[in-house]
Structure 1
Amino acid sequence: MAMNDNGWRGGKKDNDGPPDLDEIFRSLNQKLSRLLGGGPGNGPGGSPEGRSLFRGGASILLVILAGVWLASGFYVVDAREVGVVLRMGSFNRTSDSGLQWHAPYPFEKVEIVNLTEVRSVEVGYRGNAKNRIPEESLMLTQDQNIIDVQLSVQYDVKDPKAFLFSNAAADKDAKDVVKQATETSIREVVGRNKVDFVLNEGRAQVASDTATLIQQNLDRYNLGVRISKVNINDVQPPEQVLAAFDDAVKAGQDREKLRNEGLAYANDVIPKASGLASRLMEEAEGHKQRVVANAEGDAARFKQVLVEYSKAPGVMRERLYQDMMQQILSNSSKVLVDQKSGSNLLYLPLDKLIQQASPGANVPTTAAPSASPSVNSLPPPPVTEPASAAPPSTRNSREVVRSRDFEER
């Protein structure tokens, strides 16, 4: 007990004992009083003037701290952004662009969301086309063919409240949701179409249908984003069958080329053939009308001749015979000379024969009868005896037959 009394008597402590807390607080109080303008007062509280100055300084300090705390609630929202104010962790309101204020922490806080920033998601590749992701890009078409599709989706925020609180605690979470919706939508659209349509003329249609389907899925999730564009960067068969597919595509192109050439040839030949057929039909119709008219004329003339023949058969028979012989001999290439005429002067109309031979007709000549003293080899028409010369008339060969029938009668 004597040792304990010596160690703690009079408020003193040994060098190895714990510090005296009362002494520490008293020392800090005195130092703070001196700092705020008070003197080293006597006793624990110091002088009354010191205590008054201490209370005034503390009040000023509290006011300054309160002002700084209240000022921390001011924030600025850009024209392209919107502020979402959270009160005690729950949605309270949205704020427009400009200088705004909210209750300081921990009562309220604000989340700034950029509405015009275009975000993008890549499906089937990362960075460039060479960095393929087969588990994302390979998909089946309607006709059970595998194709490799690479696409990117661009989107922005249309509802900041839904973007922050519906299925997406952060922008990264929203990006994952958009990516999953894109994979689901592109596989559904590709599965509804055939491989030729997707690879060739249907890319724009596939991109449009995919964008519509992605937006419908995200609206069901109430994600608060808007799909602005879907880009089909690359569509091709898998690398293992790419060479064979290129050959098939080339064959299809050759088939289309030959088909176009055939159509061009048909478009060129068919009009010509149609025109030729029309011309031949018109010529045939004209020939038909001409033959019918000639036949009707011959029939009318035959009836007239028959009437005259019934009146004088012998005279008419002789007349028909002479006319027919004149027609036949006028078309002959021989010149007949009657030796019995007893005339030493032989008349040959060479001028007329030369004029008729001028077009270049070269008619072969044959030997005249043995009774004839000479034969002229010039082209037709020939010249008969002067006594039988008469103007030629046009007849048909049927009249020759008729004249022979008359002679037999």
Structure 2
Amino acid sequence: MDTGNIDPPPAKKNRKISLKRLGKAFLVLAVVSLLNTCWYRLDEDNYAVVTTLGSPSAETQAGLHFKIPLIQNVHMVSKIIKGMPIGYVPGDNTTIPEEAIMITKDFNFVNTDFYLEYMVSDPIKYLYASEEPEATLKMLAQSYIRDTVGVYNVDDVITTGKAAIQSEIKEKLTERVISEDIGLSVVNITIQDAFPPTQEVLSAFKNVENAKQGKETAVNNANKDRNEKLPQAEASCDQIIKQAEAEKQARVNEAEGQASRFEQMYAEYEKYPLITRRRMFYEAMEDILPELKVYVTDGATQKLLPLEHFSADAPETEHAEPETGGERE
């Protein structure tokens, strides 16, 4: 039976054709997707930062632009002016005490709400010069706000001095942001509201300020006490050391003198032992005899007789007659 010319079943042919068509469709879809990633559109409100193997470059012209797939990446950065509230939450106007409450020149508390407007001036530095450029900008703004409000009286902050305060803060903040070079620029900063804080918040902040002042006073008093007592302690220490050194030197000199006299006496003893012994005996007697009482007797006095009662410096005593039993005949 000849089987060489037998055709495959129609079902198998259709399956092969379907797989080929499906493969072509996937290939076409992949090519279209790849071509689609080769282009990006830039509008007027954004910058495009293109990174080629990690090296960034900026594109500012609006329109359709080409990029190399898998090698170049595109990051969009907005050109629109943005706003940053300081001291309050927008919408419900909730005050943030740690940002809003400040101390004025005349030592009063004032609640000030600011609104900062800014925009991106350099998209590359905005993305890569600082990890959080908005947080850095807010920190700088709060610092200059407090410094500036602190040189005005509370009446100026609440009423007539707002324009001058805003202008001064903007000038200082703009210069600092330029020097920091974080890719942002200050557009404007305005005081939204300024009013005295509530009594509860005011009392809390006064307690904090009083605690700080009490701490500073305690530290200053401790430093003053230390500065007063430390020189006295050092002087006393020096005096004690000098006295100890003097006493040590005196004892050393005395010991050396005694040793020198002993050596001289020993040398004399070796030369004239008999004379030296007598001299030493006489010197010892000169030290001992003045403390003794010497009595000279004729040898007939009873040895047990207490002679001290008969000495010149002994107290006088009355001698009573012995009693008898009757008259002597």
TM-score by length of 1: 0.42
* Matching of residue 239 in structure 1 with residue 203 in structure 2: no
Shift of residue 107, structure 1, vs aligned partner? 1.2
Distance 1:166 1:33, change over 3 A: farther
Q: Is the 8 A contact 1:86 1:108 kept in 2?
A: yes
In structure 2, the gaps of 5 or more residues are: 1-10, 202-329
In the TM superposition, 1:372-391 aligns within 5 A as: none
Secondary structure of the equivalent of 1:167? coil
Distance 1:60 1:32, change over 3 A: farther
Instruction: Provide, for residues 80-125 of structure 1, a one-character-per-residue CA deviation record: whole Å limited to 9, x for no partner.
Output: 2221111233313424200111111x2111112221x121111111
TM-score by length of 2: 0.51
Secondary structure of the equivalent of 1:156? strand
Match of 1:114 in 2: 78
Q: Is the 8 A contact 1:87 1:109 kept in 2?
A: yes
Runs of at least 4 residues off by over 3 Å? 30-34, 56-64
Distance 1:34 1:183, change over 3 A: same
Bigger radius of gyration, 1 or 2?
A: 1
Structure 2 letter corresponding to 1:81? N
Secondary structure of the equivalent of 2:49? strand
Shift of residue 206, structure 1, vs aligned partner? 0.4
Shift of residue 150, structure 1, vs aligned partner? 0.8
* CA distance in structure 1 between the aligned counterparts of 2:100 and 2:52, rounded to whole angstroms: 44
Secondary structure of the equivalent of 1:198? helix
Match of 2:136 in 1: 177
* CA distance in structure 1 between the aligned counterparts of 2:120 and 2:102, rounded to whole angstroms: 29
Shift of residue 33, structure 1, vs aligned partner? 9.4
Q: Is the 8 A contact 2:47 2:58 kept in 1?
A: no
In the TM superposition, 1:159-238 aligns within 5 A as: 159-168=122-131, 173-238=132-197
* CA distance in structure 2 between the aligned counterparts of 1:128 and 1:57, rounded to whole angstroms: 55
Shift of residue 60, structure 1, vs aligned partner? 8.5
Structure 1 letter corresponding to 2:124? K
Match of 1:149 in 2: 112
Q: Larger relative contact order (C-alpha < 8 A, sep ≥ 6)?
A: 2
* CA distance in structure 1 between the aligned counterparts of 2:107 and 2:126, rounded to whole angstroms: 38
Distance 1:37 1:181, change over 3 A: closer
Secondary structure of the equivalent of 1:65? helix
Structure 2 letter corresponding to 1:35? K
Instruction: Provide, for residues 313-353 of structure 1, a one-character-per-residue CA deviation record: whole Å limited to 9, x for no partner.
Output: xxxxxxxxxxxxxxxxxxxxxxxxxxxxxxxxxxxxxxxxx
* CA distance in structure 2 between the aligned counterparts of 1:229 and 1:138, rounded to whole angstroms: 21
Secondary structure of the equivalent of 1:113? strand
Distance 1:120 1:31, change over 3 A: farther
Structure 1 letter corresponding to 2:163? A
Q: Is the 8 A contact 1:85 1:111 kept in 2?
A: yes
* Matching of residue 87 in structure 1 with residue 52 in structure 2: yes
Q: Which of 57, 82, 89 is 1:126 aligned to?
A: 89
Match of 2:68 in 1: 103
Shift of residue 144, structure 1, vs aligned partner? 2.2
Structure 2 letter corresponding to 1:101? F
Secondary structure of the equivalent of 1:205? helix
In the TM superposition, 1:243-282 aligns within 5 A as: none
* Matching of residue 35 in structure 1 with residue 16 in structure 2: yes
Shift of residue 241, structure 1, vs aligned partner? 9.8
* CA distance in structure 2 between the aligned counterparts of 1:175 and 1:194, rounded to whole angstroms: 30
Shift of residue 220, structure 1, vs aligned partner? 2.6
Q: Is the 8 A contact 1:147 1:237 kept in 2?
A: yes
Match of 2:269 in 1: none
Shift of residue 218, structure 1, vs aligned partner? 2.0
Structure 2 letter corresponding to 1:76? R
Shift of residue 158, structure 1, vs aligned partner? 1.4
* CA distance in structure 2 between the aligned counterparts of 1:131 and 1:185, rounded to whole angstroms: 22
Shift of residue 217, structure 1, vs aligned partner? 2.5
> CA RMSD, aligned part only?
3.1
Q: Is the 8 A contact 1:167 1:174 kept in 2?
A: yes
Secondary structure of the equivalent of 1:193? coil
Match of 2:43 in 1: 78
Instruction: Provide, for residues 287-323 of structure 1, a one-character-per-residue CA deviation record: whole Å limited to 9, x for no partner.
Output: xxxxxxxxxxxxxxxxxxxxxxxxxxxxxxxxxxxxx
Instruction: Provide, for residues 167-199 of structure 1, a one-character-per-residue CA deviation record: whole Å limited to 9, x for no partner.
Output: 14xxxx333222222211100111222323222
* CA distance in structure 2 between the aligned counterparts of 1:130 and 1:156, rounded to whole angstroms: 24
In the TM superposition, 1:344-355 aligns within 5 A as: none
* Matching of residue 135 in structure 1 with residue 98 in structure 2: yes
Q: Is the 8 A contact 2:58 2:123 kept in 1?
A: no
Distance 1:230 1:31, change over 3 A: farther
Q: Is the 8 A contact 1:122 1:179 kept in 2?
A: no
* CA distance in structure 2 between the aligned counterparts of 1:154 and 1:57, rounded to whole angstroms: 55
* CA distance in structure 2 between the aligned counterparts of 1:67 and 1:114, rounded to whole angstroms: 29
In the TM superposition, 1:288-327 aligns within 5 A as: none
* CA distance in structure 2 between the aligned counterparts of 1:197 and 1:164, rounded to whole angstroms: 39
Q: Is the 8 A contact 2:57 2:124 kept in 1?
A: no
Distance 1:37 1:129, change over 3 A: closer
Shift of residue 219, structure 1, vs aligned partner? 2.0
Match of 1:309 in 2: none
